[in-house]
Structure 1
């Protein structure tokens, strides 16, 4: 072993690949660890490429960005104390010597003696390695959950952005069509007015009749403009031309709103309640908002109109509530320690909410135990039409103690 390491030291270049198993073995552990550290440091200076397996902690501590040495370890199931045969780089591995000795049935007094003879710093280092491995797995799980939430948020934002663009395009199209139709109506009306004036001049009518004729035309245009959208300009012109003049009626004065009336603000569609009147100003309440406004800008409205607006407000609030639930929804539920009835009820509510919010995947943490809770959860999920797949989590992340549910929505 020493001769092989000597050969590498004499002949290695930056194009050399070396593979050393149990580097520094075959001699005193303290001296072997020191020799291995010195040789590995020299090979690193030569910029060689290599792979070394070792149980020496001093070699694990050599890893640093400035010497091009990186740790790696084969993953280990810390609960079952079984190898997973998966390579993980960036973290040093633990030998799990004492833990494995306990599992295979070493006498308690021998293990106690072993712990007393091992260097305390070495034990602390092994414990820290195991703790780092546990924390790393927890962080990976949290990252996966955050990625799922981020993906869901992006999909929701994209959906509402597309809806906004669609509504914006429809609005522009409606405005354009309305302008064109209004232009045609005005052109037809102007022609009718010019014809009426010409007829009045020809017949040498007096000023009263002329004024009455013009007023009659204007009233008819206003009334007919409120008809259905499919009313054509020709129909409007024909209606005005064929309808006889009616005596002018007195204008009906609009009723002034009083305190407690439902009102609308001039130029707006929303309704409010008139709370008080102070001189030329008034205070109105709109939802949870109170505002001061000029009294002459308020118009009394009917309860029927308000009901329609209230229904729209309810739909808006419902959409806001759903968006809030999507942002706060956690795609994982922990039912460990709960009674069977309580666990099933919580799981049903969790699955119903996930389907309503159109989740793609959720996790149910029920633990391993006797397997009764897992069996009832699986039986319930089989009867849900929206559930496409039900499977166990990877053994490294909980195995059959966690059920993954994937939906087909």
Structure 2
């Protein structure tokens, strides 16, 4: 690893952090997706980076290939083998490659040409993938010479050279002659009853007669061996001995000619050594990318937004290993929405044991490590995740028998390390913060640690049961309390994170749910300060009431949205009905006018006198036409006046409308529905549509239906 690559690695990332967040399991899964040894080794050696450019390059490569595959644009299969030995031999003068080496080179060239052809014209769609092969030409400079020498089975063909063709023709004729002579001798001995039941065999790759040992001196030939029992002697017939010698000479000639051909073909490969080296480099890169892409598809992972600021906003985020486990058990996995920003950079999660606190913490850490290692994460693409220089963890029971360290001693050692290295670019993950010692004394020390870490500007997720930590988080400006919800009626955790208030540990409820008798629980409550029990109950009731309020709010919002849709639909129907009515009235009026004109025309026809000047009639017709013409002109003027009036009246009407300041709406704005009073925060913008969080209810609304508040 180069010095630059070492400097790119995330600070203070060690085996303990990897084990705490189960990143080793992710790397093992990635290794199985890789095809060749180098990509497999890189997968197992994967570490998170802190260099923004390097991280984004890996992420974009993976996202481009994921999109190509998901959009049914097939990507060529990576049918290649690494060519380290071949590259080494080609650097040695007068060395000759083996037959199998040319098969590797040919497959690599075919695969690379397929990739070049696939990515041709897709520089805009997959610029990162195209960049890897941009200096590699589409060529058959290696494919064609190899194809002239080798057949489809990867063997040197008879047509590789005229000399080889002649040698093999002679060998074919000689083998036939040997076979005829052998069969003639075998038939003669068979008739004489001198052969064993098996008749023949092979010894040292030579065909031999299986002669009964009692007759071996009567058969002309060379003895090649005998059976284990000695009852059968294997003899090469004298009639084929000189022919076999001649065949061996031809085989040696064939070997020499094949080596000459391979030596000549090696010269061609050596002239194209830079091209073969570029094949090797590019294909290994594509192997690593396809491994990351296969893992992303398996995890249903996407590329989130990558802001330059430190922090994260995970939307519908999943722990990938939990999803795999729950899928096997047929259990639903609940997504989490987690936000760490400068205004709320320390998230303190409390709530019952087995309620999902540690899992939420691990989800944040694992997804952050995956992303900074170039892996897509199982979260909504509307998520935004910045980068950290270091991730510091203290999760689980890590007591050391070897070093005689208790859990608390280990945690104090980790905390000393955190206080030494943490800063505003660190992500801190502390599970069961402060435990392992006397609750009162340990809680006081934990509170001081909490304040020290807060003053360093760190980002982090902390799980705890200590009331003083919850209280301190409520007091500090940039710290936020959160709780894991618990159903007090069913005594079951809901595995949902609620931001804004601390949670009860539900100690007695969890104990009851695990089979502890009511009598014991009652005795335990009697040993506590009554105010402590009441406070815990109040917190639990507040959580329950808040959950009910959230449900009611969601119902109200849905009702308002449905009402807004119904109102808009009714307006459309009314407009269509008015247009149809106006069109029908105009049609009726035009029809009546046509009837009147038709009757008048009938009168003129009846008054017309053939052969007469009809002077009076013509004057009457001219007067009628002039009158009708003036009526038509008046109607046009009235219609033009109505149209102009409609346009003019629309201007003051628009001025009288309230100013909703829709053009000021952006991500982070506080807005409300124009038809309702509920306020919400814009968490994403896409064109003329905004994604708004109304409490715990998220919906997409057109901007024209929102009013900007601040």
Q: TM-score range by the shorter chain?
A: 0.3 to 0.5
Q: Please tell me whether Structure 1 or Structure 2 has the larger radius of gyration of its CA atoms.
A: 2
TM-score by length of 2: 0.26
